[in-house]
Amino acid sequence: MNPRRDFIQKLALSAAALPFAPLYGAPHELDVFGFSGDQSVLRVAIMGLGSYGTRVADAMQSCKRAKLAGVISGTPSKIKNWQKKYNIPEKNCYNYENYDRIKDNPDIDAVYVITPNALHHEAVLRVAAAGKHVICEKPMALNAKEGEEMVAACKKADVKLLVGYRMHFEPNTLELIRMRNEGDFGKIMFFQGLSGFRIGDPNQWRLDKALAGGGSLMDIGIYAINGARYMVGEEPVWVTAQETKTNPVKFKEGVDETIQFQLGFPGGAVASCLSTYNMNYLDRFFLNGEKGFGELQPATGYGPIKGRTHQGPLTEPHVVHQTVQMDEMAGIILDGKKAVVPVDGQEAVKDLKIIDAIYNVCRTGEKQKLEL
């Protein structure tokens, strides 16, 4: 018995359903969660009830605009546990074979896809076809081609596609972006992004190329890629990269252990970044300009995020990232709110194009131009 293989097979079942109009905002006197329709609460089903799905569900208990309304899982025991823990009605529980039926459920507005990377593409297409908004964990897909197909499917179905870029709502991160925009650092010259940790269980899905699509770059390196873009405030125009592998048994073919990569920006800034599954204590962003600097360390962990600039320490209060993320995403979906740093599917496709290019450069050894 192989639960992981069964998981893939179940999720790969194609949906026959045609796109349906989104059902959020339907009038309710009082729904099963005790929220009246005029409070404009985004009702979310979580797909994938693992450790991060649990973290998001727990964080959502403090949300004002987003509430956990349903679950999608291939493990019946997890569904039962979540029903008890979060008071989820039976009619809002689905497995990977029948979740297309959410199209007929007015109590679910959106689905948050929190599954292994290789399963995102098919899940997003099916959720979109069911007429529901989608939030997808990062990386959004295995490559830019898949990502573009996901964006197109959601556009065709007239539903929103957002990606779990929780750092885009983090207060100290946003403070550095504000300072850069106001010229406090002057002309930006350099960014450094260090993202890594020593990964444990060699049998986990993150070290399985078929499920993860790669190794450290897909999992932790994407923070440095995305961070370089929102910290510098420009889109990179070239990339170089080098891969290092010290343990080919644990990190098999196609599963990167350590990658160093460099990005060039049109304003002249350069970025030097490291992604690894073989070193701890690597969670640092450093932004250097002609008039000052900004630093975050830790930069992307669950918090608290800490930092300083040439003007002194950053003092923004710590908030649970996923709570803020889900409330802000509810505002984007329900009210058309704009994020300071985009969190839509197009933003994710840009990261995927850079990932594709980094892997290609590691193979060829040649500098590659980027067109995002």
Active site residues: 138, 223
Identity of residue 239? V
Q: Measured between alpha carbons, how far is 24 from 108 in angstroms, rounded to an integer?
A: 7
Helix axes 345-364, 144-157, angle to 10 degrees: 160
Are 233 and 182 spatial neighbours (Cβ–Cβ below 8 Å)?
no
Bridge partners, residue 70, by sequence: 45
Q: Measured between alpha carbons, how far is 193 from 62 in angstroms, rounded to an integer?
A: 31
Q: Which residues contact 16 (CB under 8 A, 6 or more apart)?
A: 100
Are 8 and 117 spatial neighbours (Cβ–Cβ below 8 Å)?
no
